[in-house]
Amino acid sequence: NAGVTQTPKFRVLKTGQSMTLLCAQDMNHEYMYWYRQDPGMGLRLIHYSVGEGTTAKGEVPDGYNVSRLKKQNFLLGLESAAPSQTSVYFCASNDRTNSPLHFGNGTRLTVT
Amino acid sequence: RKEVEQDPGPFNVPEGATVAFNCTYSNSASQSFFWYRQDCRKEPKLLMSVYSSGNEDGRFTAQLNRASQYISLLIRDSKLSDSATYLCVVNRGTTDSWGKLQFGAGTQVVVTP
């Protein structure tokens, strides 16, 4: 039982490049989330999904898109990377509201 | 003002000592509260939920003070392995709670030999 798996673990992009971060969970969780974590700030919600085929904006959605075509996968896309998107990205999932979040190991992204 | 505020620390604690720290929240309608632990450069993991009556899990005690809108975490008999950043997490308490968790920036605890 792998839990929540994120790929890649590290990535360096040049400004304007695009990429997709993949999150996969094998716990049959309905809800999935993408957060970013920056120094001195709490985790901030980018986008989330309450079920297959649904997505919603979080606190800081600009510059990101997401898709949840399959229940177990939640993809985060950066269409045109900017240095302000340099951050650590965490995917998380849970099976109902207020249940503990299960996090992936994180993706460290640097945009130069 | 941030919705969830924490003293960033670090709290330097001798091994075996007790350390306590608080987290304040601004939304009086918040209903669910949690402490997560995050080790350096790793993912957060749930330490414990915080219940209205207060709760204990081994050496860890969490308290909720709704009147003053804060939660606290106390660690007794600190171990070197307790060194970590402790994240306060609060649910905003709206009927649609999905995605409404607010994370504090964390309190760093360093336990020294």
Tracing tokens 């792998």 back to the chain, one arrives at A2
Pick from B36, B49, B99: which is nearest to A48 by CB?
B99
Q: B44–A41: do the CB atoms touch at under 8 Å?
A: no
Over A38-88, what HEC string results?
A: CCCCCCEEEEEECCCCCCEECCCCCCEEEECCCCCEEEEEECCCCHHHCEE
Kindly list the residues from chain B whose CB atom is less than 8 angstroms away from the CB atom of residue A105: 42-43
A49 in Cβ contact with A34 (< 8 Å):
no
What are the pLDDT digits (tens) for B17-71? 999 999 999 988 888 899 999 999 899 999 999 988 889 999 999 999 999 999 9
Q: Report whether pLDDT(B95) > 60.
A: no
**What is the DSSP secondary structure assignment for residue B30, as one 8-state letter?**
-
Kindly list the residues from chain B whose CB atom is less than 8 angstroms away from the CB atom of residue A98: 31-32, 91, 97
DSSP assignment of B38-102 equals: E-TTS--EEEEEE-TT-EEETTEEEEEETTTTEEEEEE-S--GGG-EEEEEEEE---SS-TT-EE
What are the pLDDT digits (tens) for A21-61? 999 999 999 999 999 999 888 899 999 999 999 999 999 99
What are the pLDDT digits (tens) for A89-105? 999 999 876 788 999 99
Q: A97–B8: do the CB atoms touch at under 8 Å?
A: no
